[in-house]
Amino acid sequence: MGFLRPRRARVVVSALLASVLVGMGLPGYAAAVAPAFVQKVSARAIAASKAVTLPGNVTAGNRIVVQVGVWSSGNATAKTVKDAANNTYTKLTAVTASDGTELSVWSAPVVNGGGTKPAITVTATAKADLGIAAVEYSGLSQVADATVVDQKSQATGTSTVAGVVTSGPTPVTTGDGLALGFYADSGFGKTLAAGAGFTERVNVSPTSDMEFVLEDRPVGIGEQPSAGVSTGAGVPWSVVTIVFKAAQGGGNGPTAPGSPTSVTAQAGNASATVNWTVPPNGGSPITSLAVTPYANGVAQAPIVISGAVATLAVPGLTNGTSYTFTVTATNTIGTSAPSAPSNAVTPTASPQGQWAPAMNWPFVAVHMVALNNGKYLLWDGWHQPEPTYLWDPATNTFTTIMAPDSIFCAANAHLPDGRVLVVGGYGVVSTGELGIKDTTIFDPASNTWSRGADMHYPRWYPSVTELPDGRYVTISGNTSDAYTWAEHPEVYDPANNTWTVLSTVNTSQIHEVEYPFAYLAPNGKVFTMGPSEDVSYWLDVNNQTWTPVGASGVINGSSTMYRPGKILYSGGSSTVSDGAPAMANTSVIDLTAPTAAWRQTAPMKTARDFHTLTTLADGKVLAVGGAPTSDQSKLNTNILTTEIWDPATEQWSTAASMSVPRQYHQTALLMADGRVLVAGGGHHISATVPGQFSAEIYSPPYLFNGARPTVTAAPASTAYAQTISVSTPDSADISAVNLVSMGANTHQSDMDQRFVPLQFTRGVGKLDIQTPAGATMAPPGDYMLFVVNSAGVPSVARTVRILPSITAPSAPSAVAAVASNASATVTWSAPGDGGNAITGYTVTPYIGSTPQTPVAVTGTSAQVTGLTNGTSYTFRVTATNAIGTSAPSTPSNAVTPSATPIPGYVQQVTGRGPGAERAVTTPSAVQVGDRIVVQVGVWNTVGSRATGVRDSAGNVYTKISSTVATDNTEQSVWTAPITAGGGQKLTVTASASASADIGVGVVEYSGLSLAAGLGAVDTTVSNKGTTAVASSGQTAAVTDDNHLAVGFYVDSGFSRNLTAGAGFTPRLNSSPAGDMEMLIEDQLVVLGARPNATVNTVANTPWMVTTVVFKHG
């Protein structure tokens, strides 16, 4: 029992404390008995029930904890847990993964059967794959119900890469106890391992039927444990953390606090900032903490601060002297042992800033885009399609959203309305060419990806730059292979979703291995740099001219536009990937000069390649990361120091060192609070080679110069050449106002980065600020507005959108209606807000051309009630902001409310090909209130199976059936009610347990039940065979009129011409094909019918057919 040892000193202290308190006439506490692992047993079976017996006799007063994993095609669940001694088991939690696997946890105090080995029997609702772990513990609470649980957390997901999956932290614990972690998946042959800080008790892996882990660790009061388990890629998983209370009198008495942890220090000018993690308080609130400086190892006078704080600015230190710091915590019981010493720091008159501890991330952040809602859109590379991650720094949580294609090594920029534009990407897996033609757009309002118009040329490693009129130009990029480039730029018009080729411009002088750099200059032209050739050109988009400028003296370096028209370019090496030595060269160019020319300035302090340049909130430039050579495969190159470039002196100075080396594929962005987010590095040739799965945040020196100024109010939007009023109580002390664009960074380049100083006048409690004169200084879009005080400290930025003009919203689009009983659900896509936030929408029903009573709402959907059944309605929608109201939308589709909605076909999409996943995107926007039905076919030589279906809006899919043909092809049917993503095209992704031939067919229907899980299914039947007419056989009798029978057919690809059976309407037919053939058909059915889907094929074809009867709405 390894985890007992650290508790023994605490046991003795508690016992002595109890005797002292009693001697003083004060309440005493029983000596602590720490919870302890006793014994375990585990088993797997394919059965409806399974019994296990612990290897030793159980002890009365202990507690048995049972973990159960259940999977079947019929979504079986755990029904009961009993033992032969009649102890009473309580189900503490149950969670279901995306493939229908249920993980449940049960527990019972051992009241009966002490001294025996009672068999423990788990019973499921039906025959299923079962996984069981039973563990006995001592020292846990003996309550007979769920109040044994102090706190719990749980999570499910599908791993995109190998790594640690977690339950997430529990709420704060209220006393001492034992945190147990439970993991389960339905069996994918992965090797599992317990997470950091937990002791592994049960590990059943790798297996192909049920894999599970049970782990534990002791906890004290005030903790938030989060169980984690290392698993493989492509696994639908569930993880649960449950904190069991310790036995009464068994460790719940107060003690001195634990020692503070994670103590770090950052030097300032004759000072240092010390940060730490506040420890568990031992059951009595922490009243104070003490920070003790050590000057060259000699303890100085401690500084005592009240309360449970986690930071202290230590004044009065001697510049040039090395200091470390320890921290202790005190409550009414006593004082903790000192923490481990902090890192050593040396105060100086020129502070270097501070790095926060590195954060573990589940991917390598090769692309990083700041969003206007304070979150960050990030993605790795080499996947098809590419999973993207939405990081919320407020909660440190990630949301996975699948992009439609592989957007690795694409170009990134912000659209004026706050969406993200991604151009090009990696096509080897999907098209066989190096580049792709994709235009991909992410909407942070709905957290969805959508496809725009294709470019004329495929492009990998292109640049994309916003033009003054809100259009975008993309330049260069590889097309079919590494030796072929797109020689003609193209211009994208978001308003019309069109690309136009600049056919008279040829950019063959910039054949880059990676990205060219392209910046919008104040003269409205695009300044373009070829890093490998060290060339630069003016691109005049309107006149289609391409004019040389000259060489910089920097090759393959990193660049940023640090002022309008002024570019800093530094570092690099003579090659991109051949291991050439890094350089420290630095050059600048002023594009506003009569004759723009490069000029070399003082070199960097450290020669570095693959570094990232980020313009800070005060206008200085931070250089982070990099490598001593251009060898992209190196991960740990020990260039940890950072540098800051001052435009006033054109000199570099050394700044604080990172904890993680970052070179090729690193990213960095300025955050709204003035700090810098840095992440990534590695994955240079695939997602399987090493990478830096972490991020860290840098606080620049300006954050150590005193209190921040504050902004209490600022307009959300404005136009060019305007005066805006910004409220701040610090107006008299403001020395600068800076406008900084949201970043979009990848591969040490960010053409979306701009820094624009603004003119202003001070007033009482306000600043009157002049917005940029025109779009060449700051193209339309969202910006961070910083005010900076006389000490150089920036405020937290306010987001301001700058547009040519501020108007009423545009008309809503994609208005669609779904009828119900005397009502209709109306959905639409949000229009452009005209530069001012939309405050509401008005939905007006029409009977013919006659408007009815309107309905006012704030979202993009409305439930319109009070309609007349049997009457046809259309709907129009208007949008309103502070400026005015839009024109009405075009009418919706006509619908007729009915007491019994009639199901209807809406649209379909299909896709097939090799891989571990296959994604398809609906041709049109889907509607909330409809239902998605998905058929998945999977075949390979090792019997891979479909493991899950997900979509870009996060709708929850339930597996209805799974059938395996004689040639080992699997057909599975999945469905989800559309509760999210209405008004958007939906990307639906099916995953398999290994790379295989995958076919995916997706159909959207209206008028079906929206019940969750299998509640929307009336009856189903499946069959397999090799006859010329494939048939599911008859279903059970249908229970109501106007249900919809849907027939599904799959074979593994025999180039057959499939046709629908009699009485059914074909909706999707993917035949003939040589890899996966499928057909989906449907018919309305009446009460008592027993539909039988049939499909005409050719004899000796191994087929599967399923009929599913869906209930009407």
Which range has the worst mean pLDDT, 255-259, 640-644, 890-894?
Answer: 255-259
Residue 222, pLDDT > 70, answer yes
pLDDT in tens, 380-412: 999 888 989 999 998 888 888 889 889 999 999
In the sheet with 766-770, reading across from the earlier edge strand, the strands are 723-727, 766-770, 760-763
pLDDT in tens, 450-471: 999 999 999 999 999 999 999 9
d(CA 281, CA 244): 19
Q: What is the mean pLDDT of residues 277-286?
A: 82
Q: What is the DSSP letter of 357?
A: P
Architecture of the structural domain at 717-803: Sandwich (2.60)
- The SS3 call for residue 614 is strand
Q: What is the mean pLDDT of residues 209-224?
A: 89
What is the pLDDT, as a whole number, of residue 425?
A: 96
Residue 546, pLDDT > 90, answer yes
Q: What is the mean pLDDT of residues 326-336?
A: 92
What is the pLDDT, as a whole number, of residue 399?
A: 84
- Among residues 142, 250, 465, 384, the alpha carbon closest in space to that of 920 is found at 384
What is the pLDDT, as a whole number, of residue 1042?
A: 87
Residue 22, pLDDT > 80, answer no
DSSP string covering 1012-1062: SGGGGEEEEEEEEE-SSEEE--PPSPPSSTTEEEEEEEEES------EEPT
d(CA 1109, CA 25): 74
Do the Cβ atoms of 40 and 133 come closer than 8 Å? Answer: yes
Which range has the worst mean pLDDT, 23-32, 41-50, 146-155, 192-201?
Answer: 23-32
What is the pLDDT, as a whole number, of residue 16?
A: 31
pLDDT in tens, 665-717: 999 999 999 999 999 999 999 988 899 999 999 999 999 888 899 999 999 99
Architecture of the structural domain at 359-704: 7 Propeller (2.130)
pLDDT-derived band at 30 (thresholds 50, 70, 90) equals very low
pLDDT-derived band at 868 (thresholds 50, 70, 90) equals very high
Residue with tokens 């972690």: 181
d(CA 334, CA 1109): 68
- Tell me the fold of 261-349: Immunoglobulin-like (2.60.40)
What is the pLDDT, as a whole number, of residue 818?
A: 80
Structure tokens at 690: 């090493």
DSSP string covering 330-356: E-SS-BPPPPPP---B---SS---EEP
Residue 899, pLDDT > 70, answer yes
What is the pLDDT, as a whole number, of residue 32?
A: 42
What is the pLDDT, as a whole number, of residue 19?
A: 33
pLDDT-derived band at 483 (thresholds 50, 70, 90) equals very high
Residue 63, pLDDT > 70, answer yes
Structure tokens at 58: 């159980």
What is the pLDDT, as a whole number, of residue 354?
A: 87
pLDDT-derived band at 10 (thresholds 50, 70, 90) equals very low
Give me the percent of the chain exceeding a pLDDT of 90: 69
Structure tokens at 681: 């590095």
What is the pLDDT, as a whole number, of residue 350?
A: 66
Domain residue ranges of the chain, discontinuous segments joined by +: 34-245, 261-349, 359-704, 717-803, 813-881, 904-1110
Residue 487, pLDDT > 50, answer yes
Look up the CATH superfamily of 813-881. Immunoglobulins (2.60.40.10)
Residue 14, pLDDT > 70, answer no
* Same fold across 261-349 and 359-704: no
pLDDT in tens, 1083-1097: 999 999 999 999 999
d(CA 872, CA 890): 16
Q: What is the mean pLDDT of residues 793-822?
A: 92
Q: What is the mean pLDDT of residues 535-557?
A: 97
Q: What is the mean pLDDT of residues 229-248?
A: 90
Do the Cβ atoms of 868 and 1009 come closer than 8 Å? Answer: no
Do the Cβ atoms of 689 and 704 come closer than 8 Å? Answer: no
Q: What is the mean pLDDT of residues 797-807?
A: 94
- The SS3 call for residue 904 is strand
Which range has the worst mean pLDDT, 250-264, 434-448, 1064-1078?
Answer: 250-264
pLDDT-derived band at 614 (thresholds 50, 70, 90) equals very high
What is the pLDDT, as a whole number, of residue 68?
A: 97
Mean pLDDT computed over every residue of the chain:
90
CA dist 970 → 164, 949, 1014, 1102 (Å): 29, 14, 20, 11
d(CA 835, CA 842): 19
Residue with tokens 């936030």: 837
What is the pLDDT, as a whole number, of residue 29?
A: 32
Q: What is the mean pLDDT of residues 1003-1009?
A: 92
Helix or strand (DSSP H, E) at 7: helix 5-23
* Number of C-beta neighbours around residue 25 at 10 A: 6
Strand-pairing partners, residue 1022, are 1106
The larger pLDDT score, comparing residue 329 to residue 251, is at 329
d(CA 504, CA 546): 9
pLDDT in tens, 720-735: 999 999 999 999 999 9
pLDDT-derived band at 253 (thresholds 50, 70, 90) equals low
Do the Cβ atoms of 799 and 783 come closer than 8 Å? Answer: yes
Residue 6, pLDDT > 80, answer no
Which range has the worst mean pLDDT, 154-163, 179-188, 299-308, 398-407?
Answer: 154-163
d(CA 952, CA 958): 16
Which range has the worst mean pLDDT, 14-23, 85-94, 385-394, 564-573?
Answer: 14-23
Pairing of strands 387-392, 397-402: antiparallel
- pTM (two decimals): 0.59
What is the pLDDT, as a whole number, of residue 352?
A: 87
Q: What is the DSSP letter of 21?
A: H
Which range has the worst mean pLDDT, 63-77, 127-141, 341-355?
Answer: 341-355
